[in-house]
């Protein structure tokens, strides 16, 4: 089985995860989680959204979160923005990287922001200007790359067109979203083989959801064709607000699998499991984590 030697994890729990928790989580609790995540060795941590606080009130304290955390050297702390105004606030707050979002499929994009994908991409120019001036790199998150709830399959060429468009505008990497958990391993293999060949110089993350239990199987298929960048969320927190959605792939389950496979992550799994415990406590929900409940394979052998 071909597998890469090492991969890069981008931790989503403190942003995409908390975003879907109905209650407002106090700023100090968010800071506690992010500081704990910083100690795990995760090289990228999404920490805030600079959107309209009326749209996502759970993340209205992005500035205070950024001001309160202890930044660990080498870790990129990422803020997500919808527009130039958000980019300005994210830059002022001290984000190391900015994320912007749109959907590969027109109908999903129209459903979310009432404009075509093309218009959304064109509208990113303002974000790019501000980021360039502030010297902050931008990633583009592209939703519905593995399927759209309105259109079904999304053609690989459409995804390629979206990537090409945002890279031309200045995005240094892209994140392909499995927004409603529609990816399957064969499709992931086919799409990612095509895209890695077509964009050898663009870092491509995949952001897989576990709605239908295939999350880690999809990541296994991606690893086998050379994908080395994965989004995941501590405790499996968050995910799209689609009915029945089980949320993001769980970080500690993913890192546990990678370590069992002999793939390096640079992360401390015990510290990550401790973060999953914190995440469960602060959201007041049982997490979708397996490893938090069952423990690591190596712990089982040692304990018997």
CB of 245 to a copy of itself, least distance (A): 7
Tell me how far, at minimum, the Cβ of 11 lies from a copy of itself, in Å. Answer: 17
Q: Which of 28, 67, 125, 300 binds a copy of itself (CB under 8 A)?
A: 300
**Interface residues for a copy of itself in 239-268 (CB under 8 A)?**
242, 244-246, 250, 253, 256-257, 260-262
Q: Does 70 bind a copy of itself (CB under 8 A)?
A: no
Q: 140 vs 145, which CB is nearer to a copy of itself?
A: 145
Q: Which is nearer to a copy of itself, 24 or 150 (CB)?
A: 150
Min separation Cβ 162 and a copy of itself, Å: 20
Among 221, 222, 227, 255, binds a copy of itself (CB under 8 A): 221
Stretch that binds a copy of itself, among 25-33, 122-130, 160-168, 238-246 (CB under 8 A): 238-246
Least distance in Å: CB of 68 to a copy of itself?
32
Contacts with a copy of itself in 130-189 (CB under 8 A)? Answer: 147-152, 180-182, 184-187, 189
Q: Is 293 in the site for a copy of itself (CB under 8 A)?
A: yes
What string of H, E and C letters represents the secondary structure of the chain?
CCCCCECEEEECHHHHHHHCCCCCCCHHHHHHHHHHHHCCCCCEEEEEECCCCCCCHHHCCHHHHHHHCCCCCCCEEEEECCCHHHHHHHHHHCCCEEEEEEECCHHHHHHHHCCCHHHHHHCCHHHHHHHHHHCCCEEEEEECCCCECCCECCCHHHHHHHHHHHHHHCCCEEEEECCCCCCCHHHHHHHHHHHHHHCCCCCEEEECECCCCCHHHHHHHHHHCCCCEEEEEHHHCCCCCCCCCCCECEHHHHHHHHHHCCCECCCCHHHHHHHHHHHHHHHCCCCCCCHHHHCCHHHHHHHC
Binding site for a copy of itself (CB under 8 A): 1, 3, 147-152, 180-182, 184-187, 189-190, 210-214, 216-217, 219-221, 242, 244-246, 250, 253, 256-257, 260-262, 289-291, 293-297, 300-301, 303-304
């Amino acid at each position: 089985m071909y597998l890469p030697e090492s991969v890069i994890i981008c931790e989503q729990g403190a942003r995409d995860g908390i975003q879907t928790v109905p209650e407002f989580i106090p700023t100090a609790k968010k800071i506690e989680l992010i500081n704990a995540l910083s100690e795990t060795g995760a090289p990228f941590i999404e920490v805030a959204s600079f959107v309209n606080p009326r749209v996502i009130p759970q993340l209205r304290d992005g500035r205070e979160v950024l001001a309160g955390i202890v930044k660990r050297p080498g870790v990129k702390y990422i803020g997500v923005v919808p527009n130039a105004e958000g980019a300005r606030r994210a830059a002022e707050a001290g984000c190391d990287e900015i994320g912007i979002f749109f959907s590969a499929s027109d109908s999903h994009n129209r459903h979310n922001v009432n404009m075509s994908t093309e218009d959304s991409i064109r509208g990113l120019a303002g974000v790019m200007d501000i980021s360039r001036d502030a010297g902050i790199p931008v990633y583009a998150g592209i939703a519905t790359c593995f399927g759209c709830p309105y259109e079904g399959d999304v053609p690989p060429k459409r995804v390629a067109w979206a990537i090409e468009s945002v890279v031309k505008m200045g995005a240094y990497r892209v994140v392909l979203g499995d927004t409603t958990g529609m990816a399957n391993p064969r499709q992931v293999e086919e799409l990612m083989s095509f895209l890695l060949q077509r964009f050898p110089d663009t870092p491509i993350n995949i952001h897989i959801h576990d709605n239908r239990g295939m999350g880690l199987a999809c990541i296994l298929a991606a690893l086998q064709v050379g994908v080395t960048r994965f989004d995941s969320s501590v405790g499996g927190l968050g995910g799209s607000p689609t009915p029945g959605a089980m949320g993001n792939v769980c970080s500690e389950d993913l890192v546990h699998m990678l370590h069992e496979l002999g793939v390096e992550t640079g992360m401390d799994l015990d510290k990550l499991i401790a973060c999953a415990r914190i995440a469960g406590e602060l959201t007041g929900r049982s997490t979708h984590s397996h490893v938090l409940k069952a423990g690591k394979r190596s712990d089982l052998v040692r304990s018997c």
